[in-house]
Structure 1
């Protein structure tokens, strides 16, 4: 379309010049004015498109959050509040997308109409002045072509604007390829190969470990140095924003640490191996279980690595047997997206069954029982103590009583290690963070 408009403009100019070559004297003036109008319009609409693209993202984000939390919104009767916020975001988007575009295109149309009329007037005056050097046929052809130049010029500018505006989408995609602004994950398959039996002890050692989510932000983890022996049960606690969950993310390298950081498991530098090699050796039971819209078998064993006997054993150990016995299709029972047809406790037990199937040397519990009842909590805790007794366990907890039987307690504060010792030693520290958290949980500090 852009090429078609461009060729029509060239043809119109050729038609006018064929009527009188004197028109070439005035052509540079019209070309400069046209170019100036075009550049102002294109720059304006490009910025409007950029604003429109940026203002559209919050609409999708708010809509997704509203759908996800619809039951909570209805329960608290906040429907009107969320509707008002949605209308507000749409209005903000329309200010740039609809009203801004109308004003810009009207501005363009007025100026191009004036320019086109000046073009026709100039051509007519030239033909009157140089009537002895042209013919009536040429004059008629040139003027009829000039009269149609207004629409052609308008479309040519619009097509140029649309071409550049669509390039804004490419520009926004290129922003995500900027490794400085949006850090990319490391290679999935690393150059350094590891033994299939790694890790065999489960020893974790960190030195000068620092991590920040972006370069311009303060460190989320600040110069951590810690050694955890194989088979130890470590409870991780701290106040909100202390860095507990970030510590867990760093083990999976969901966020990369700074260059000076050292992260070693059983003598292997985990920052030099592939993400697949690292993550398949770690198991996590998160606070919010992630389940797929698939069968129970697929949710427990997505890659088909285990036999039915192993899957049934994991189900029995995770206390899901009583539930699966009620299912007509057994392992082929369909689970809804996000586990919508399971209770919160059942979803956590499915995650526990996954962990039992993999049985890696490292088990990470990220507030795994925070959203379940006490009965399910006791089932999960007892199974973990029995089945993972030879594994290294890192348990992030908001309930102190769930980690008080750990070998050691790691207390985080403002991204740093504030305390690291046995529970009894930490509770004996007057004014200590763990001691205060223990008292606040409703327990009397041990002496």
Structure 2
């Protein structure tokens, strides 16, 4: 995933140019060291006045400039490649998370999602990008340095390869051992801090009961556990360092003996070979350490990949685009609608059927757990459904989700405004002037629940905390005045009666006559003057009709709910008033 993002849309070209430029840079650097030896050898065979200093100085400078240019090319390509990869991984993670199902969001802790989008993405942006470059550079350097030794002394190809293999084996043992040790350090670190914090917080109680020695012994015990893990990790680092350094020293010493006593090379060539051998031996330990850190950081990529293969909602398709005239009305027909939250979960709705004409105001009521919220989610296709739902004559199962949900406005029970000013929440893209925004405030009834003399009077520049309290109604009236086709509403359950009246009055006044309103309410007075009422119980419709007709059934569930209310006379009056207005 990360490598694919680095290479982009032309992986062969990118990989070829990147690898060639880097290896050419390292070869140039090696040749530069060899050229210095050639330059120094001239003073052995010629008088200093006969040595063409400008020739060798110019050659050395050209090698240096060429190495810098090649390194710049390779580093720039890696930099932009890692930026591209990090951006693609971030976009893929956000798109996957935002397009997942409601069920997955319910069962996945929010803290875990935040960790993926912050800590793991930060690892991709930083450590993984750096460690990947260092790992590739160290690998290339080892190949170049060993190749330079082999060019001067071909017989050392096998010993050099053997040293590299033995170093890699030691590195494997080291990486497996230190993972367990680091896990133990992590487990031992939290108890130390937790015990210290508890001791500081309860210091008075500890002194009052005279248990200082007990707390001190427990603290020493926890510190000892953490220290043992830390010392073990230190010993592991010394273990790998001693062995890899010993392998490098043996290789370099063997090469030195061979060059001095077994060959007739001049001093500059011997110095060049030994320089390459020493560098090769020292790179093995760093190669092991970089590979270890790269492997640990790669766990973030693994965790991110797990969030890319989660369950998702259906993707938009051309066949799901509705006609341009849709929706022409707010008619809603539901036929044998069943729903469940997961494929193996129980049904929460059982073959619900009803029909609502355009412009009707329908209340939905029921006891806790009757299926009111589930019905809203089913109409929006947020959960798994069976049956048919026709919105203005078109089955919602054939529509793209964005087309369906963009033509439905919801006033939710829990507001979802962001921290900032009220103006930023109402108009995040600066599309409206202040007069339009104030009209939205007035239409939402905000000015009806606060007076001009209120010290904390809310204006467009008022700061809104995350969540937005009860100001969410304003945003719906402003942003969706034409697409407000039906409004499932649980918004009034957590507010006072006065604000509830203002909200309901605003909805009746501001919405057009052809707008269909579904009000899912916890207060009966909110929906008793509706055109019809749906009464749910255990995921089934037990009553459906005009409020006055349903109240005539003394054994009905709505009548029972009204009888249990403290203001049943007022509820009967609302129902009879709705009947009178409909007859008129």
Q: TM-score range by the shorter chain?
A: 0.5 to 0.7
TM-score normalised by structure 1 residue count: 0.65
CA distance in 2, matches of 1:427, 1:41: 81
SS of the aligned residue for 2:503 comes to: helix
Q: Which structure has the larger Rg?
A: 2
Q: How big is the shift at 1:117?
A: 0.5
Instruction: Give me the whole-angstrom Cα distance separating, in 2, the residues matched to 1:356 and 1:4.
Output: 56
Cα–Cα, structure 1 residues 171 and 154, in superposed 2: closer, same or farther, change >3 Å?
same
Equivalent position of 1:396 in the other structure: 520
Number of the residue aligned with 1:187: 316
Please tell me the root mean square deviation across aligned C-alpha atoms, in Å.
5.2
Q: 2:263 aligns with which of 134, 151, 171?
A: 134
2:511 is equivalent to residue 378 of structure 1:
no
2 CA distance for matches of 1:297 and 1:126? 75
- Structure 1 equivalent of residue 79 of structure 2: none
Counterpart CA distance in 2 for 1:375 and 1:400 is 15
Please say if residues 318 and 383 of structure 1, whose CA atoms lie closer than 8 Å, have aligned partners that are also in contact.
Answer: yes
For 2:327 and 2:288, locate their aligned partners in 1 and report how far apart those are by CA, in whole Å: 64
Unaligned runs of 5+ in 1: 53-79, 81-98
Residue 582 of structure 2 is matched in structure 1 by none
Superposition pairs for residues 290-301 of structure 1, below 5 Å?
Answer: 290-291=416-417, 299-300=425-426
Separation of aligned partners in 1, 2:543 and 2:496: 29
TM-score, scaled relative to structure 2: 0.52
- Structure 1 residue 156: Cα displacement: 1.4
- For residue 332 of structure 1, report the CA deviation from its aligned partner: 7.9
Match of 2:398, SS? Answer: coil
SS at match of 2:284: helix
Determine the C-alpha separation between the residues in 2 that align with 1:443 and 1:100: 69
Counting only pairs closer than 5 Å after superposition, residues 1-400 of structure 1 correspond to structure 2 as 1-14=134-147, 17=150, 21-39=154-172, 107=236, 110-121=239-250, 124=253, 132-134=261-263, 146=277, 149=280, 151-178=282-309, 181-184=310-313, 186-187=315-316, 191-196=320-325, 198-212=327-341, 218=345, 221-230=348-357, 231-240=360-369, 243-253=371-381, 255=382, 257=384, 260-291=386-417, 299-300=425-426, 315-321=441-447, 333-338=460-465, 344-345=469-470, 347=471, 350-351=474-475, 353-354=477-478, 357-358=481-482, 360-366=484-490, 368-385=491-508, 391-400=515-524
Q: Which has the higher contact order (CA 8 A, sep 6+)?
A: 1
The Cα of 1:286 is off from its aligned counterpart by 1.6
* Contact map agreement 1:112 1:153 (CA 8 A) in 2: no
Which deviates more from structure 2 when the two are superposed, residues 381-390 or residues 243-252?
381-390
Asked if the contact 2:339/2:378 (under 8 Å) is kept, the reply is no
Match of residue 408 from structure 1:
533
* Residue pair 2:418, 2:425 contacting (<8 A) in 1 also: yes
| Paired residues of 1:189 and 1:277 also in contact (CA < 8 A) | no
Identify if the C-alpha distance between structure 1 residues 22 and 320 changes in structure 2 by more than 3 Å, giving closer, same or farther. closer
8 A Cα contact 2:240 2:285, kept in partner: no
Q: Deviations over 1:245-294 (max 9, x none)?
A: 343233334x2535x54332121122322344323322222223344567
Unaligned runs of 5+ in 2: 1-133, 186-200, 202-227, 573-584
Distance (whole Å) between structure 1 residues aligned to residue 387 and residue 284 of structure 2: 61
> Relative to 1, partners in 2 of residues 1:9 and 1:318: Cα closer, same or farther, differing over 3 Å?
closer
Residue 2 of structure 1 deviates from its aligned partner by 3.0
Paired residues of 2:412 and 2:489 also in contact (CA < 8 A): yes
Contact 2:485/2:515 (CA < 8 Å) preserved in 1?
yes
